[in-house]
């Protein structure tokens, strides 16, 4: 899958040579700044709001949405949905929800126009990913423009990716399970661009975005693939203009706009300019992660 909006590595990995302003205070462990909401999609979920980052980095109620307990009412489970680019089993990349469960697409559905055909007994085996009117969709590593909604026959609003309705698989009992992959020759995990997921793809040179505006905020994750839930992984929000030192190395980030990152504190060492979400900074030449960033 092409990595999006990150400057080509050869042109960007270089020792910083331009004098920058003094470093800001350490921000490790702080809560992520409230990101500016994307424009809500019109249609059946016209009041749903798309927000950059994960549910945890946006301080979502962890007893609701994707992480609600099984016995929670539907209206609680539909308060929010999380779509995060990740890896699961042999699928890399694949989209997972807030609890880390693999999300799937169904070949018998339609993407253009969006149409969900898995109902009744089918929906018990393949629970649709639904969101309430006025709910939120948190996205990390997925293009906001690719996220949409379709109204199901039961009246609920299902989240779509590149037009394809999204589902879970009831037999996936642990985060990272991919037991639904290939079932019936019609069910497949979905990649961040809505395609059928498969084995790890070969890296593709990223696409440059020379006209990106300077970022005003960013969220960095200690784990790759925007992971702020496994083990001791956590997220840190940055919203201070200038150079910001980080507490440790961070391996992935979400950002809207242009931001420069460095391998060492004080905005020193190896550097690169990024203009959109990066699921694995090690792949961009930062094996120990980035340790400082410059905003503005």
**Over pLDDT 90: what percentage of the chain?**
77
Q: How far is 292 from 23, CA to CA, in rounded Å?
A: 9
Mean residue pLDDT across the chain = 85
SS3 at position 256: coil
- The per-residue pLDDT for range 71-92, each reduced to its tens digit, is 999 999 999 999 999 999 999 9
* More confident site: 39 or 44: 44
Residue 25 has pLDDT above 50, yes or no: no
CATH 2.60.20.10 domain position(s) in the chain: 9-32+203-295
- The per-residue pLDDT for range 156-211, each reduced to its tens digit, is 999 999 999 999 999 999 999 999 999 999 999 999 999 999 987 665 545 546 77
Q: How far is 184 from 125, CA to CA, in rounded Å?
A: 13
* More confident site: 43 or 156: 156
Q: Average pLDDT for residues 112-132, to the nearest whole number?
A: 97
- The per-residue pLDDT for range 234-263, each reduced to its tens digit, is 999 999 999 999 999 999 999 989 999 999
The pLDDT, as a whole number, for residue 200 is 77
Residue 47 has pLDDT above 90, yes or no: no
| Strand order from edge to edge, sheet including 136-140 | 49-52, 136-140, 80-88, 91-96
DSSP letters, 130-159, are B--TT-EEEEESS-GGGEEEEE-TTSPEEE
Write the DSSP symbol of residue 185.
G
pLDDT tier, 26 (very low <50, low <70, confident <90, very high otherwise): very low
Nearest Cα to Cα of residue 122 among 74, 173, 69, 165: 165
pLDDT tier, 30 (very low <50, low <70, confident <90, very high otherwise): very low
Q: Average pLDDT for residues 41-58, to the nearest whole number?
A: 78
CATH superfamily of 9-32+203-295: Crystallins (2.60.20.10)
Q: How far is 40 from 137, CA to CA, in rounded Å?
A: 10
* More confident site: 4 or 98: 98
The pLDDT, as a whole number, for residue 203 is 57
Q: Average pLDDT for residues 53-61, to the nearest whole number?
A: 96
Peptide bond into 162 cis (omega under 30): no
The pLDDT, as a whole number, for residue 202 is 64
Write the DSSP symbol of residue 268.
E
DSSP letters, 80-124, are EEEEEEEEETTEEEEEE-TTS-B-EEETTSEETTEE----THHHH
- Max mean pLDDT among 16-25, 46-55, 91-100 falls in 91-100
**Over pLDDT 70: what percentage of the chain?**
81
């Amino acid at each position: 899958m092409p990595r999006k909006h990150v400057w080509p590595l050869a042109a960007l990995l270089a020792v910083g040579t331009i004098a920058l302003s003094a470093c800001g205070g350490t921000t490790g462990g702080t809560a992520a700044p409230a990101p500016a909401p994307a424009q809500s999609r019109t249609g059946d979920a016209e009041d749903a709001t798309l927000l950059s980052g994960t549910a945890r980095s946006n301080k979502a109620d962890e007893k609701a949405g994707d992480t609600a307990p099984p016995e929670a009412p539907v209206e609680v489970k539909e308060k929010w949905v999380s779509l995060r680019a990740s890896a699961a089993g042999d699928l890399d990349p694949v989209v997972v929800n807030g609890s880390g469960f693999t999300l799937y697409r169904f070949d018998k559905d339609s993407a253009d126009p969006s149409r969900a055909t898995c109902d009744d007994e089918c929906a018990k085996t393949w629970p649709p990913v639904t969101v309430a009117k006025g709910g939120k969709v948190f996205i990390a590593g997925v293009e906001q423009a690719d996220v949409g909604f379709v109204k199901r026959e039961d009246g609920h609003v299902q989240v779509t990716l590149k037009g394809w309705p999204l589902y879970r698989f009831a037999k996936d009992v642990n985060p990272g399970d991919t037991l639904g992959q290939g079932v019936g020759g019609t069910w497949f995990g979905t990649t961040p661009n809505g395609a059928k997921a498969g084995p790890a793809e070969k890296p593709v040179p990223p696409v440059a975005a020379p006209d990106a505006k300077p970022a005003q905020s960013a969220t960095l994750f200690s784990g790759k693939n925007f992971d702020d839930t496994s083990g001791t992984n956590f997220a840190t929000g940055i919203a201070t203009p200038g150079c910001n030192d980080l507490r440790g190395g961070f391996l992935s980030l979400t950002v809207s706009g242009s931001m420069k990152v460095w391998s060492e504190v004080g905005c020193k060492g190896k550097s690169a300019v990024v203009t959109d979400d990066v699921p694995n900074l090690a792949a961009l030449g930062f094996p120990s992660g980035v340790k400082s960033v410059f905003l503005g």
